[in-house]
Structure 1
Amino acid sequence: MDVTQRLVSRSCPFCQNSAEDAQVLSYGNSEWPMIECNKCHFVYLKRAPVYERLSEEFAWEKTSETERQIREEREPVKQGLSRAFKHFRQKVLKRNKLPELIEKYIPGGRVLDIGCAAGGLLATLPAKYQPYGIEVSKALAQAASEVVEPRGGSIMHDNALNGIQKLPENHFAGVLMSAFLEHEVEPNGLLQGVAKVLQPGGVVIIKVPNYGSWNRKIRAEKWCGFRLPDHVNYFTPENLEALIVRQGMKVVQFGLADRQPTSDNMWIVAAK
């Protein structure tokens, strides 16, 4: 891909088939067309911003706030109920899936959070973990550095694909990608890099929107998983698992509770 321009024209991230004959879906628009590969049926944005634009122009802290405002104006009641349920689940029921998976599958050691934002998750890791991160937003990378450096960790300000290639092999006990892989222009290449930097037996924990969910089919263009141009890949349980296994990793948790058809998101854990 030529990343010297402001836009990247993409072939299918899953099978590398040309985008020229793909089916154009109604979920996109003229600026950010969404297409379905006519060979493997993977859904993705035909064009995406180059990595450099993600550092500032399309930085997560900017686009997420814009998206929140749009959803609040369009569906204020639904958004209020969604916030209340999230608060109830995390504060009252004390359920937060990512910390539970980290504790279950990563006994300790170096943990890499790809797309770590301001380091909020890394700050909550117990002392047995040494926190590291990769973050494309300059402002968020600086904030995350202040969080992890006192604990002996570090943050790399770079896009994920470049960053992962700079890290040593067999180095991390765990890699986290919570709500990140849907943003990555080269998901196959990034997962190859993840497999490289994981220690033998190390795990990657991934959360992505579930394009195969009933909610997406019912809510159509109003589905919360659609964010243009931030979300460039739209995974189903089948192609997410296949993409991970392709890198030589073994799926260790991906049951029905992790990919409920009624849930907008899905979780998968794989080991090297």
Structure 2
Amino acid sequence: MTAPAGSHPQRSPTGRTAPQEPRPGLRDFYENPAVPVASGTERALRQARMLAAALGPVGPGRPPATVLDIGCGDGSAAATAARVLAGHRIVGVDWSQDALRRAAPRIPRVVRGELTDGGLPFASAGADAVLFSEVIEHLVDPDSALEELHRVLRPGGHLLLSTPNLAAWYNRGLLLAGVQPVFSEVSLRRIHGRPGRQVVGHLRLCTARALTGFVAASGFEVVRVAGAPFHGVPRPLRPLDRALCRVPSLASILLVHARRV
């Protein structure tokens, strides 16, 4: 996953504003090999199919598209997408060196890049599509991140964003019972007050309404919102979880397809 984007600036002794480096605790957390960097095959497949429908097949008069998988993690999602996006050029981008080492065997091209400081190592308007999967919930400054994605996409280029849903069907019940929602965390060290055993570094969560409003305000036109299941749902409840994907506002995972205005 990419680094938590942009921290608040600090004033230097000269009065100039200088960007603050990410906190060492966050950097250490995301470079820890024990932190999960994959987010589910079914989500990746649904997202890739949405992008494939938008790009169309490679053929006469339709050259391969350049697709940046920003926050590629271990490359498993990009490898799943590559089977659906045959002929298109996928480039994996991540901030974590550990993630890139794991992604390299799965993706032909991997690049280290950050959503802060100097930005992503790509020219403006140089990409046809961006996959931004399970990243935004880890960011300190999502506004700057969306600005950077807007910069690297060509006009009309496609953004495929996915993130856990704060208002997932089971989270509504958990909140009514006074239980911390799934996906949300209050510590990077241990779980407090929610189901699950693994800390994954989520800093923020969105509902479908909040997410689409944020994406639209960042210079994108929202084309479609869909749902995807969560691989961590207990097995007896998985059929219900898949069925509720038809109602994105209740789904475990939100999938947003948007285009750069």
Which TM bucket (shorter chain)? 0.5 to 0.7
Shift of 1:197: 0.6
CA distance in 1, matches of 2:26, 2:184: 17
Aligned residue for 2:68?
A: 112
Shift of 1:250: 0.6
CA distance in 1, matches of 2:32, 2:142: 18
CA distance in 2, matches of 1:192, 1:116: 19
Shift of 1:160: 3.1
Aligned residue for 2:197?
A: none
Aligned residue for 1:57?
A: 29
Please give the residue correspondences for 1:1-272 in structure 2 after superposition, counting only pairs within 5 Å. Answer: 1-2=7-8, 50=22, 52-59=24-31, 61-64=33-36, 96-107=45-56, 108-124=64-80, 125=82, 126-149=85-108, 153-156=109-112, 158-162=113-117, 164-220=119-175, 221=179, 223-227=181-185, 228-229=187-188, 230-254=201-225, 260-272=248-260
CA distance in 1, matches of 2:150, 2:209: 19
CA distance in 1, matches of 2:115, 2:251: 27
CA distance in 1, matches of 2:184, 2:214: 21
Note closer, same or farther for the CA distance 1:261–1:242 as it changes in structure 2 (3 Å cut).
Answer: closer
- Is the 8 Å Cα contact of residues 115 and 160 (structure 1) preserved in structure 2? no
TM-score computed with the length of structure 2 as normaliser:
0.65
Cα deviation 1:24-56 (Å, max 9, x = unaligned):
xxxxxxxxxxxxxxxxxxxxxxxxx93654444
Aligned residue for 1:11?
A: none
Note closer, same or farther for the CA distance 1:187–1:132 as it changes in structure 2 (3 Å cut).
Answer: same
TM-score computed with the length of structure 1 as normaliser:
0.63
- Which amino acid in the other structure matches residue 221 of structure 2? K
CA distance in 1, matches of 2:23, 2:157: 28
Shift of 1:142: 2.3
* Alignment length (residue pairs): 199
Note closer, same or farther for the CA distance 1:177–1:255 as it changes in structure 2 (3 Å cut).
Answer: closer
CA distance in 2, matches of 1:60, 1:101: 32
Which segments of 5 or more consecutive residues in structure 1 lack a partner in the other structure?
5-48, 66-85
CA distance in 2, matches of 1:258, 1:59: 36
Identity between Structure 1 and Structure 2 (%): 19
- Is the 8 Å Cα contact of residues 54 and 137 (structure 1) preserved in structure 2? no
CA distance in 1, matches of 2:149, 2:140: 15
CA distance in 1, matches of 2:98, 2:44: 30
- Which amino acid in the other structure matches residue 223 of structure 1? P
Q: RCO higher in 1 or 2 (8 Å CA, sep ≥ 6)?
A: 2
Note closer, same or farther for the CA distance 1:53–1:95 as it changes in structure 2 (3 Å cut).
Answer: closer
Which segments of 5 or more consecutive residues in structure 2 lack a partner in the other structure?
1-6, 11-20, 57-63, 189-200, 228-244
CA distance in 2, matches of 1:164, 1:212: 32
CA distance in 1, matches of 2:79, 2:138: 23
Note closer, same or farther for the CA distance 1:240–1:261 as it changes in structure 2 (3 Å cut).
Answer: closer
- Is the 8 Å Cα contact of residues 54 and 136 (structure 1) preserved in structure 2? no
